[in-house]
Structure 1
Amino acid sequence: MASAAVPILERTVAEVGGVEGLRHLAQACRPVVIRGVCSDWPAMQMSVQSNDAVLAYLARFDSGSTAEYFAGPPNLCGRYHYGDGPGGFNFARETIAVRQAIARIAANAQDAGETGYLGSLPTDHHFPGFAEANPCALLPPNVRPRIWLGNASTVACHYDTYDNLACAVAGRRRFTLYPPDAIGDLYVGPIDHTLSGQPISLAAGAASNDPQYPRFAAARARAVMVDLAPGDALYLPKLWWHQVEALDPVNILVNYWWDGFSAGPDAPHTAMLLAMIAIAERPAAERDAWRAYFDHYVFRPDGHPLAHMPDAQHRVLGPLGQGNYGRIRALVMRLLRGQ
């Protein structure tokens, strides 16, 4: 029997309260809609006036940089995906001045001559001063924003390896969410030939009931749709799958990526890639044996592996913050060097 969809929590920014409030919510690894996160931002207030006003406001911060611009024909309807075009995609990529891209997006909103998109632009580089003029009270200052700007579009269903706070500034956004353990039913594409960094679900972007993807029905039954109006935000835990639709002729989203529970510089995704080359093609019985060891030492469903011994005897299996992170890391680096 397929698992049921996970209900999405909804809070106001006042109910979350601040940095510690968001961290507390994040411990459950569940998406949370937070209403009113950026309602008082000048950028959001400009979007209420008009598309031209918010684009002009954004252009005031333009540093004169260039960026990668996605362009597609009108019949694409902004659905960026694989295809027969350049590099095996259904859209073209151009490196152009950000100011020129903003002008094209504005023109597209008027005549629909193409659909255009700028994604994941760090504000400190492309729009210096924007973050200070439009601050987020839910995150520490060292977590820096990125801007996503374009016409109506659909970004293919993917996951991120960081926690994500996505704030709708201009235009409405619709997120279709799938939990991490739906991955086997999503028919994920290659990890090294992607649209824009992360692997995507082929099934979520296909026609309904496509016979190539029979298991997708189980994932679809667990999907949850979330709509954001300008001013709203979605906290999205790492590894949650999400398709993102920008519903209006001009859309601006500001997002923040961070790892809220990192113990050091090493990322879980890196560990997974190493495990793939070390374990994935071993015999099934051996993989089962390693699964038991990963459960015991890493995932710990039965608690700490040395719970039967005094804390003082846990040595490198003691708390990472007591120097054991560095000790284990040094051991791993020696082993990788063959020492």
Structure 2
Amino acid sequence: MIETLRDEELAPFETHRRACRPVVIRGLAKKVQLFRAARALDTLIPYLLGFDSGASAQAFVGKPEIAGRYGYGDRTDGFNFARETMTLPVALARIGAAAATPGGDSIYLGSLPAEVHLPGLAEANPLPLAPPGVMPRLWIGSASQVACHYDRFDNLACVMAGTRRFTLYPPDAIGDLYVGPIDHTMAGQPVSLAAGAEAGDPRYPRFAAASARAETVTLEAGDALYLPKLWWHQVEATAPFNLLLNYWWDGFTAGTDSPYTAMLLAMTTLAERPAAERAAWRAFFDHYVFRPDGHPLAHLPPEAHGILRSTRENLGRIRAFVMQVLRGG
């Protein structure tokens, strides 16, 4: 079960975060100005436009037949929606019109950087648990469903208006989710094809195992959800008008590179090798990287760990060696 906290009892949050488990925080955003302004469109729109920088944004626009379910088209080389560039006043007006016209076009602005489009909004609305210096992004639109995906960063998602339903799958469900292409995506991350299909779709027989492990949580306005990186999540905005503020950051940074970069490089070097050799490399990765039995040199004193001693300087030395090898040096 997903852990639930109240806004007045945040002390256990750090324990849950370090366990890399999702946490719901009820009422986290109810004291900020943006939440109060978002109780109605006729108060929210003027409030947002008071911060408008004039920068244009890209909106996702869907025809009535997709019913707000954004995804691929009939095949994975196309999409069932259009992208349109527009100013924030135009986008908000169209979102308001869509909210007032059930069954019509759907529209939403996704991942809108506050510091670019609404400078000063974040400073006027400091949120508990938001990491210092991390700027929020806004997700504004009519009723919609975003395909099941994961993020490469930790995520604090706060509902300011409307209702959001999250369906979560743990990272190790990836093999049962039938993930689409990683280089042709809707918004940067690959998505699960099975999670958005009709129940019992014969193309995805293993999805039943993932579905049995799914956890669903509904967030009302003012509620927040902490999602550790790599947790799969399908997000449904179920009200006629919805606004979500989210923060992305790497809560456990080590070194200058993303683990995703290491995975991509491993794909180019290991994925096509014979199964027996891959198994041998898996043992080495477990020993040196994933370390189920602890540090690989635990049998030696720390001063004898050499380049494997956990210091920032040694991380830089390893990275420099890797870069030299990749350059052919």
Pairs within 5 Å for 1:172-251: 172-251=163-242
Helix, strand or coil at the partner of 1:255: strand
Instruction: Give the CA RMSD over aligned residues.
Output: 1.4
Distance 1:87 1:128, change over 3 A: farther
Match of 1:95 in 2: 85
Q: 8 Å contact 1:170–1:253 — kept in the other structure?
A: yes
CA drift of 1:86 comes to 12
Matched letter for residue 42 of structure 1: Q
Structure-2 separation of matches of 1:307 and 1:297:
12
Helix, strand or coil at the partner of 1:16: coil
TM-score by length of 1: 0.94
Q: Are 1:13 and 2:7 matched, yes or no? A: yes
After alignment, is 199-208 or 258-267 more displaced?
258-267
Match of 2:58 in 1: 68
Given candidates 134, 139, 144, the residue that maps to 2:130 is 139
Q: Are 1:106 and 2:96 matched, yes or no? A: yes
Pairs within 5 Å for 1:33-48: 33-48=24-39
Match of 1:149 in 2: 140
CA drift of 1:22 comes to 4.2
Match of 1:80 in 2: 70
Helix, strand or coil at the partner of 1:252: strand
Given candidates 256, 259, 262, the residue that maps to 1:271 is 262
Q: 8 Å contact 1:8–1:32 — kept in the other structure?
A: yes
Q: 8 Å contact 2:166–2:235 — kept in the other structure?
A: yes
Structure-2 separation of matches of 1:255 and 1:43:
13
Helix, strand or coil at the partner of 1:83: coil
Structure-1 separation of matches of 2:147 and 2:76:
18
CA drift of 1:23 comes to 4.0
Match of 2:310 in 1: 319
Helix, strand or coil at the partner of 2:246: strand
- Gaps of at least 5 residues in structure 2 are none
Q: 8 Å contact 1:151–1:249 — kept in the other structure?
A: yes
TM-score by length of 2: 0.97
CA drift of 1:54 comes to 1.6
1:92-134, Cα deviation, whole Å (9 max, x unpaired): 1111112211110011111243100100011000011110111
1:293-333, Cα deviation, whole Å (9 max, x unpaired): 00000000011100010110001111133x11111111111
Helix, strand or coil at the partner of 1:243: strand
Match of 1:293 in 2: 284
Matched letter for residue 198 of structure 2: A
Structure-1 separation of matches of 2:254 and 2:14:
15
- Gaps of at least 5 residues in structure 1 are 1-6
Q: Are 1:253 and 2:244 matched, yes or no? A: yes
Q: 8 Å contact 1:63–1:128 — kept in the other structure?
A: yes
Distance 1:85 1:310, change over 3 A: closer
Structure-1 separation of matches of 2:294 and 2:253:
20
Matched letter for residue 63 of structure 2: P
Pairs within 5 Å for 1:114-129: 114-129=105-120
Match of 2:45 in 1: 55
Matched letter for residue 278 of structure 1: T
Structure-2 separation of matches of 1:259 and 1:210:
36
CA drift of 1:140 comes to 2.9
CA drift of 1:265 comes to 1.9
